[in-house]
Amino acid sequence: MNGMNGLRQAWLVAVREMRERARSRAFLASLVMIVAVVAAMIVLPAVLLGRDRSVDVGLSGATPAGLPATIEVQASAVGTTARLHTYATRAEGEDAVRHGTVDVLVVDGRTLEWPRSVDQRVEAVVSGAIQVVAIRDRAAAEGISPRQLGDLVAPVPLTNVELSSVAGRTSGDQTATLVMTGLLVVIISSYGGLVLTGVVEEKTSRVVEVLLARIPPRSLLAGKVMGIGLLGLAQVAVTAVAALAAVTAVGSLDVPAIRGTVIAWLVVWFVLGYALYATLFGALGALASRPEDAQSAVAPMSALMVASYLAAFAMVAQPDSVAARAISFFPSTAPLAMPGRIAMGSPAWWEPLLALAITVASIAALVRLGGRLYAAAILHGGPALSLRAAWHAAKESQPAHPRPIRRNTVNPAETTRYRVTVTILMLVGVVLGVGVGAATSDVIVGVIAGAGFIALTVQAFKLWTGHGGATVTRT
């Protein structure tokens, strides 16, 4: 019964979040802007590139018979309209070039004169036409009929096959996978950031004190994550519909085909990835008492998301490797790595299901743990609270309504230990980077591995200690 009450309370909070944010001008403005930008990115290139491009060609001197008509045919073959201008003298033609009346002047069918620099596109059309006319004239001089000449120079049909890094998948599949992975990171981090902002705003305005009088902290956190997530999913759906409408209207845009099962799994992993990171963002956001402290509080999670994205991005080209399989089961990387493996047709049928079960179990555990941290930290005022202080407070028996936590003065011994530990972590990162670089024979990979380790561990340690170790007591 308590579980049902908790779900009902979380749903009430979720409805409140959706109603409040959907009515805000900022949300509506962002939705309109995103839809407009996506539609413009699809429509404008197609409209601009799809316009009837034309070229003005001037002719002077002894023009070979058939050259004007051949220039028009060659231009039409590449989607360009050729407008021809004939000049009685070379001087008149050159004057037209200087004044921009024509793009190129053909003198005696052999010399091309340009305004300042050569236009490679126009040169290909005009020079191709000159070569065709010259070959035709030479063939006629040798007694070769136009039909025989056509048979001799008829192009051989070619078939282009673009191979991806994985057998059985096209380069379009690989491109779609890379785009999907990037979009997942952007969407999850964006709406996870909304959860963070909402937690800090309610804590700063003291609204959370009113809410906690009626709703348990865990239900409040879960409802906030759920409401913003549903609103984000609706915004993504509206944007996707607008993009599909723009693609349909343009018609000429080449969009890689994505299988329906891949799209379905993409939605599933978006929901799971968002729930995972948004819960962490919400719990860690409660450590901050001011908006200025929010980003530093979630810095380890931001570093973890970036590292997870880089790992998933690097494994797209080798989805069957041991490393790719490992990160597709690890909770923080699974939402980014598994959709790519599914799109590339790599995993066995049971692998997505196992990764799904592991991630769901991790989210359930994080909701419980995050709820305890949220309860311990949400009423804390003053300087940003360390994760260690919130953790110790969460392990204590919690009263019905959590009391704020007071930070004492900084202990010099704790500061010294903090500095020593950070130095050790940096040295370990350097050693790790050198080892990875030597093992992979790639300096860049080694630098990324070492720098990523240092950034993630140092930020996590800063969050845990509160930048130098402060002791905490209950008030």
| CA separation, residue 25 to residues 31, 106, 199, 209, 234 (Å) | 10, 60, 19, 26, 17
**Cβ atoms of 30 and 197 closer than 8 Å:** no
According to CATH, the superfamily of the domain at 53-153 is Periplasmic binding protein-like II (3.40.190.10)
Q: Quote the pLDDT of residue 434.
A: 77
DSSP symbol at 84? E
Pairing verdict, β 53-60 and 104-107: parallel
Q: Using 70 as the pLDDT threshold, list the residues of the chain that sit under it.
A: 1-4, 6, 45-53, 153-155, 160-174, 250-259, 289, 377-415, 418, 422, 440-445, 448, 456, 458-475
Contact assessment for residue 283 and residue 367, using Cβ atoms and an 8 Å cutoff: no
- Give the pLDDT score at 110: 87
* SS3 state at 474: strand
Given this model, what pLDDT does residue 169 score?
Answer: 62
Instruction: Check residue 13 and give its pLDDT.
Output: 81
Do 9 and 219 touch, CB atoms closer than 8 A? Answer: yes
Crossing angle (nearest 10°) for helices 25-50 and 217-250 = 20
pLDDT at 354: 93
- Rounding to the nearest 10 degrees, give the CA dihedral for residues 301, 307, 310, 313: -70
Q: Please tell me the predicted confidence (pLDDT) of residue 166.
A: 62
Q: Distance between CA atoms of 147 and 394, rounded to whole angstroms?
A: 90
- The Cα–Cα gap between 110 and 190 comes to 60
Does this model's pTM top 0.75? My answer is: no
Say how far apart CA 470 and CA 475 lie, in whole Å.
Answer: 15
CB 216 within 8 A of CB 13: no
Q: What is the pLDDT of residues 160-191, one digit of tens each?
A: 666 666 655 666 666 777 777 888 888 888 88
What's the pLDDT at 475? 41
Distant-in-sequence, close-in-space partners of 234: CB < 8 Å, separation ≥ 6:
none
Q: Tokens in use for 195? A: 């959860």
At 218 the pLDDT is 75
Residue 179: what pLDDT? 77
